[in-house]
Structure 1
Amino acid sequence: MYAIIDIETTGSQPSQDKITEIAIFIHNGQEIVDQYNTLINPQRPIPYFITQLTGITDEMVRDAPKFYEVAKEIVEFTEGHVFVAHNVRFDYSFIKKEFADLGFTFQRKTLCTVRLSRSLIPGLPSYSLGKLCKSIDIPLQQRHRAIGDAEATAKLFDKLIKINRPVIDGQQQLTEPSEQLKHAIKTSLLPPRITKEQVDALPGVPGVYYFYNEQGEVIYVGKSIHIKKRIIQHFNIDYKSRKSVEFKNSIADITYERMGNELVALLFESAEIKRMKPQYNRQQRRSVFNTGIYSYEDEKGYRRLTFGTVNRAENANMTPIIALTNQFKAKGFLFHKVSKFNLCQKLCDLYKTNGACFDYQVHQCKGACIGLESPEEYNARVAEAIDSFTFEHNSFVIIGKGRELGEKSVVVVENGTYLGFGFVDEYFSAQGLEDFKSAITRYNDNKDVQQLIRGHMRGKHKDKILIFD
């Protein structure tokens, strides 16, 4: 049994928008046998542009039931059925979120009629519901209303499931789902142009992967320590916005590069994003390290440390000493330096007070916060702390796991500057730093890769570090 569903909503993001209408058509594999439809009070105003699109107004839903009042009926109507929709992730994600808000886990097998249509009716100019129905002569009334779109999707589904069914004695056999339908249910979460075979062929190794659109353009670059698992996660995650559906549906091909280990994958991903500027890597293109640690001298001569968002107006004239991914990481970083170098929490913006900081009260601060320690003595320790922000050594090589047995990766830093990485035979013999430099591909140094290497060096790893200071 199949539950063909369409919803209307107050917007495109399940995390903040709500359902205003739902329609369900039950199909038993041969014909439509039942249906359900209701407006739903979203308990918030419907935006004007949504009303213009759907025709659903605040007045229409004012006396409609709230979602929790129809939740039981939706569960009963869909229980044991395959959840079918056009761009199924959109409808499924909204309904899952509505139930999650009620403390209930809604889970069904899913089937996407966009993907099934591409498989069974290839070559059409568009697979949007309106244009697809027009192409195959399915009447579509009450467009952008749940009842109209769900009915059209149900008629489309009825046509699709009868394609390629076996004919015996002049009668089409409709008792068992076709192999295409079974396959569509198994692969309903994949982008329409990506096959199960493509995903099955992906390796479970560290590396960088690329998503392409139909024109062969790279639209996204990612990295993972397990390429196959990460790509499957991309396809399985719940829909967050209409843009995420557009992204997923535009993926037409996948390629990858093995990198051997996470550090090299991170460095290569960063370089590729900056080089290619893919459409859906906008956040990474701006930089994932958006919180800076800053230093300035106050009116009493104390050198102070603070943290704040990079490129904000108040920080426009300041260059961060180091950048981290977020303010939580920045505070943790500063707390660590305060403890290690016996700095003052108040003078590092970690303890707001007009008097002494907390550490002074427990005898772990020497009193710079209340003027008991001289600026000269305190600033000397701040300088030591700042020196520790950079690499512990000026010139070094990180030797890690390679892409295959018998191979190693090498990452080279010289005089505090990242030079690049490469791969060498495990028996590679080097007399000095110059030999390693000759084995790498050169890449640009920047604050992002500096932070990636620093984070790797501070974390737990099994790489070999050769120091050339």
Structure 2
Amino acid sequence: MYAILDIETTGGQYNEEGITEIAIYQYDGHEITDQFISLINPEKPIQPFVVKLTGINNEMLRNAPKFYDVAKRIIEITEGCIIVAHNAGFDYRVLQAEFDRLGYNYQRQSLCTVELSQKLLPEQKSHSLGKLVRSLGIPISDRHRASGDAMATVKLFKLLLAKDVEKEIIKNLVRSGEKKEVSAKIFNLLEDIPPVTGMYYIYKENGNLVYIGKSNNIKRRLHQHFTGTSRKAKRLQKDAFTINYEETGNELIAQLKENQEVAANKPIHNRLIQKVAPPYSLYSKKNKEGYIVLTVAKTDYRKKEVTSFRNTNEARNAINKFIEEYNLSSELIATTRDIELDNIINGTDITNITAEEYNTRVDRFIKQYSFYHQNMIIIDKGRSIEERSAVLIEKGVYKGYAFYDLNHQINKPEILKNILIPMPHNRDIKNIIQSYLRKKRNLKIIRF
């Protein structure tokens, strides 16, 4: 649990500043669970340059509560939380100084989003809050007011958690967490896991990540792990100490993240994703009459395929879809001797169609489904109704994904790249995306 906060002060000498406004958003890594926002009477004048910067003046604070009036609420909302702030050293120091004046020893762990953004977003020209969130497309209102800056920090921290693909933030927090009894751990661990699409991460007591999984319903999948009797299930039941999860909003991003994160983290209970060619692929070649023939054959990496299939059933269903959508002919769809595809629909009759006209249809199909040289942004569901996801493909290479608010339009790759979570490309990724595009007909795709 995190307490993401921002503090406005009077300005003045070091450790003599007074708090004029505070905003705290309690955040569980996925959503805001509580909040506290208040002006505070610092019982000392505000420096003129601060009045000009924040708009908060002495008159506004005359009837505001004093710090000791709100101290108990601040302790309660931050209890058991990690303090997160942009330039956390300043905000945490000022907060501690106020408690020191009351004779209370206020201690919390803290994370600084300046330091995190410097590590996870090194390409950004500036890591000041205003410039950073603007370049990332994060909306910010009431700049230099505690509530506006704290909410912008919440959204920035959410992005940083997503960018932290090696889970260093979570690992460090798990390692530094207090030891606790886990005798009834299994069902306690599942209590706060929601039935959403996303990723889940299982950690041992020493903070080591031992398993990464994905599911359209992560609560149900974890329940299967923890009630299963297989050797793998029993190993997970024995090792599980902490579970973290991450919503992805849709299955595509979950698959892409699993592919990358298993390879990057190599959890001991995951089978490493094998870089094995899908068994079957679709190839194109003109026959002697000049018509383009599409042939399903065993995958040959020496040739450039149109698309690939995991099995003959997937190939059969895809071929029928292609014939129907592009008015192709089953007469010009072939298979090699070792592949049998039954129940293929007939499609168009080529006796009254020229090779040029038919090949135009095939070219449109190849342009749509071949991954090579594709430039597109795949728009899909986000983690909430106010959010969408975007997957970027440039010249047939997967570049990464991002989540964005609906009021921030993503229609060009240059805009998307500012908030993109970069990911490596491989043939498995290509096949994951192609398979997903075949299954999901109503996806919005921006081609450029």
Normalising by the residue count of structure 1, what TM-score does the alignment of the two structures yield? 0.45
Q: TM-score under structure 2 normalisation?
A: 0.47
Rg: which structure is higher?
Answer: 1
